[in-house]
Amino acid sequence: MTGAHSRPKVRGLASGAPPEGSASKAPAAKARGAETAGRKVEEELDALLDGDAKETQRPTFPKIFGTYVLEEMLSRGGMAEIYRAQRTGPHSFRKTVVLKKILPALAGNEDFRRLFIEEAKTVALLDHPHIVPVHELGEINSELYMTMEYVNGFDLKTMLRRAHEKGLKLPLDLAVYIAARIASALDFAFTREGPDGGPLQIVHRDVSPPNILISFAGMVKLTDFGISKPSSYVEARKHAPQGKIQYMSPEQASGGPLDARSDIFSLGVILYEMIAGRRPIAGNPDMPSMDEVRRADIVPLRFISSRVTPRLEKVVMNAVASSPDERYTDAGKMAAALDRVLHERPAVGSPQLAQFMRILFDATSRETATSS
């Protein structure tokens, strides 16, 4: 990926992903004070990045960065740049990784250095087959970086778009399989014990198709914990909403306390979309207003899709209930419910998902995939 990159305005400050669809432009009344403070930080950061953008208009590759060879910039967000890179070593050793590097303009900013370090240390604790792992946290020439697994495939957003372009629907069983795997990842992040022996209670806060990676081998991985926070942190503070508005829970849109049930709502929206081809909120599901997200006027899935079974609809509608008290209490219960749905149907797993990916993406596309 070479050529000019336009610099996006800051949204989701700890995230390395592009902030398309960010929700901070329409604040809840109760979160207005938090957003005002957040906007001031954003304006200050934008000013810093304006100067930095001049240095990165036309990046050339490959670039040497310590023992890494940066081959291509995958994305550039408000805090970091993400590259596909090669880890080099003796005897011609090479391994493809994703390298996330703090923006040069922020290299000396202690607040953003702290956020970057916290993200790396948090994800390093999440050793789970359906979470993209962090391999290393380091610093070269005062620039912090972390390296992560390179997932050879595409994100769920790209996969669904390609299926639509080809006039195909994601098979129902594969949609359930993907959601079940992500539910298990969310449950692990929330219940994983930290260094003090207590649960981490991590709330991802940006569960969305761009952050779900599907490999050509049929593996499903959750990524980008850049704006994730412990539940206790989120409950103790009011926040301007961060994340993608189309997948945001009503309580997140209101800037209120969040726990695992907020991520469950977001995953429920994704599952609904995989099944029905649209999101569940009435009105404008492609880009709902913040008020529509807060009201969460959900269209019953059976009204949109004839292929959904009663048991599966019950799981989906439980996940997207407007009140957190009416949802699954934890993502583990949602994963178990989805697995029960799968057990009633023909066996499905990574081989079937890999086969569908091969149908969607030809050999050339698979060779040039740049998932991160």
DSSP string, 296-316: T-BPPHHHH-SS--HHHHHHH
Q: Which of these, 97, 122, 102, 101, lies nearest to 112 by C-alpha position?
A: 102
Q: Is 206 among the catalytic positions?
A: yes
Tell me the one-letter amino acid at 129. P
pLDDT score, position 285: 79
Q: Quick one: 323 and 348 in the same domain?
A: yes
What's the CA gap between 343 and 340, in Å, rounded?
A: 5
Which residues are within 8 A (CB) of 281 and not within 5 positions of it... i.e. 6 or more apart? 288, 292, 293, 296, 297, 298, 299
pLDDT score, position 17: 42
Per residue in 122-171, pLDDT (tens digit) is 899 999 999 999 999 999 999 999 999 999 999 999 999 999 999 999 99
Supply the pTM of this predicted model.
0.80
Q: Quick one: 133 and 169 in the same domain?
A: no
State the alpha helices, DSSP H only, in 125-198.
Answer: 156-165, 172-191
Asked, for residue 8, whether it belongs to a domain, the answer is no
Tell me the one-letter amino acid at 81. E
Q: Quick one: 112 and 195 in the same domain?
A: no
Which domain does 170 fall in, by range? Answer: 153-359
Calculate helix-pair angle for 260-276, 310-319, nearest 10 degrees: 140
Assign residue 323 the CATH number of its domain. 1.10.510.10
Please compute, for residue 18, the number of CA atoms within 13 A of its CA located in the half-sphere on the CB side: 13
Catalytic annotation, pick one of 187, 206, 263, 330: 206
Show pLDDT as tens, one digit a residue, over the chain (372 residues). 333 333 333 333 333 444 444 444 444 444 444 444 445 445 555 555 454 444 445 679 999 999 999 999 998 888 899 999 999 999 999 999 999 999 999 999 999 999 899 889 989 999 999 999 999 999 999 999 999 999 999 999 999 999 999 999 999 999 999 999 999 999 999 999 888 888 989 999 999 999 999 999 999 999 988 655 555 444 444 455 567 889 999 999 998 889 999 999 999 999 999 999 999 998 887 888 898 999 989 999 999 999 999 999 999 999 999 999 999 999 999 999 999 999 998 899 999 999 999 999 987 777 666 444
Decide which of 149, 164, 187 is a domain's last residue: 149
Q: Quick one: 124 and 180 in the same domain?
A: no
Assign residue 86 the CATH number of its domain. 3.30.200.20
Q: Residue 103 in contact with residue 10, Cβ under 8 Å?
A: no
Q: Quick one: 192 and 267 in the same domain?
A: yes
Q: Quick one: 187 and 125 in the same domain?
A: no
Asked, for residue 49, whether it belongs to a domain, the answer is yes
Q: Quick one: 117 and 265 in the same domain?
A: no
Per DSSP, the three-state class of 37 is helix
Q: Residue 267 in contact with residue 179, Cβ under 8 Å?
A: yes
Q: Residue 111 in contact with residue 144, Cβ under 8 Å?
A: no
| DSSP H or E run through 365 | helix 363-367
State the alpha helices, DSSP H only, in 54-171.
Answer: 110-124, 156-165
Please compute, for residue 53, the number of CA atoms within 13 A of its CA located in the half-sphere on the CB side: 16
Where on the phi/psi map is residue 250: left (φ > 0), alpha (ψ -120 to 50), or beta? alpha
pLDDT score, position 303: 95
pLDDT score, position 263: 96
Decide which of 102, 132, 149 is a domain's last residue: 149
Tell me the one-letter amino acid at 257. P
Asked, for residue 365, whether it belongs to a domain, the answer is no
Which residues are within 8 A (CB) of 195 and not within 5 positions of it... i.e. 6 or more apart? none
pLDDT score, position 256: 86
Asked, for residue 187, whether it belongs to a domain, the answer is yes
Q: Quick one: 182 and 328 in the same domain?
A: yes
Q: Residue 260 in contact with residue 189, Cβ under 8 Å?
A: no
pLDDT score, position 282: 87
Q: Quick one: 181 and 95 in the same domain?
A: no
pLDDT score, position 230: 55
Decide which of 149, 177, 197 is a domain's last residue: 149
Residues in a beta bridge with 298: 281
Asked, for residue 204, whether it belongs to a domain, the answer is yes
Q: Quick one: 306 and 353 in the same domain?
A: yes
Q: Quick one: 97 and 115 in the same domain?
A: yes
What's the CA gap between 306 and 244, in Å, rounded?
A: 28
pLDDT score, position 4: 35
What's the CA gap between 309 and 275, in Å, rounded?
A: 11
Asked, for residue 158, whether it belongs to a domain, the answer is yes
Q: Quick one: 135 and 164 in the same domain?
A: no
pLDDT score, position 16: 41
What's the CA gap between 177 and 130, in Å, rounded?
A: 12
Tell me the one-letter amino acid at 57. Q
- The tally of domains found in the chain comes to 2
pLDDT score, position 136: 96
What's the CA gap between 281 and 287, in Å, rounded?
A: 10
